[in-house]
Amino acid sequence: MKFRELAELSDQELAQKETELKDQLFKLKFQHALGQLENPMKLKNIKKDIAKIQTLLTQKAVRTEE
């Protein structure tokens, strides 16, 4: 996902998306351990998306504190 697309989502939507991505990451790690993962780049992309979401949530939290 692109950063701009994520920035347009609400806090609840971001949290929900983060949960979904973490679940997907867990499943992909399991497939990778079993040698069934066809595209290992999916792991990297999902980790990046989770980091983007966490960054946005942190930025929004800092803005509300000010």
DSSP string for residues in 28-43: HHHHHHHT--S-THHH
Query: Domain spans of the chain?
Result: 3-60
Q: Would you tell me which CATH number, out of the four given (1.10.287, 3.40.50, 2.60.120, 1.10.3430), belongs to the domain 3-60?
A: 1.10.287
Long-range (24+ apart) CB contacts under 8 A made by 13-17 are: 14/53, 14/56, 14/57, 15/57, 17/53
Spatial contact of 57 and 14, defined as CB atoms under 8 Å apart? yes
pLDDT for res 58: 95
Q: Return the residue matching tokens 């499943």.
A: 27
pLDDT tens for the chain, 66 residues long, are 888 999 999 999 999 999 999 999 999 999 999 999 999 999 999 999 999 999 999 999 898 887
How high is the pLDDT of residue 17? 96
